[in-house]
Amino acid sequence: MQLARVIGDVIATRKDENLHGMKLLVLQPITADGSPAGRTLVAVDSAGAGIGETVFFVRGKEASFPFYPTEVPTDAGIVGIVDRWDLG
C-alpha cells in the first residue's frame, strides 16, 4: 500500500455499470517523508475519504475486495484514512 493525498475527483457519466455510484478520487502518492512520489491516479473509496485527506490505498485486484460480491473493475482503492505515521 502507499500513502497518498486526495487531490481531486473525476466525473464520468458513461462508465462500467459496476462503477456506478462509486466515488472516483484523484490521488497523489507520497513517500514517508510526505513528498509527492509518482504519478497521480484515480481510485475508488471504501473508507469515506474526502479531498485534502491523507490516505493509504491498495493497487491491483485487492482494490475490489471491499465491494464483494460485486466485481468492481478497479485497480486502485482507498482502504484507510491516515491519522498519522511515525518513523522509528
> 85, 56 in Cβ contact below 8 A?
no
Query: In whole angstroms, what is the distance from residue 15 CA to residue 50 CA?
Result: 21
Residue 23 contacts a copy of itself per CB under 8 A: no
Residue 87 contacts a copy of itself per CB under 8 A: yes
Q: Report phi then psi at 59, rounded to 5.
A: -105, 160
Q: How far is the CB of 49 from a copy of itself (least distance, A)?
A: 8
User: What are the cell numbers at 21?
Assistant: 455510484
Binding site for a copy of itself (CB under 8 A): 1-3, 6-16, 18-19, 24, 26, 28-29, 31-32, 37-43, 46-48, 51-52, 56, 58-66, 68, 71-77, 79-88
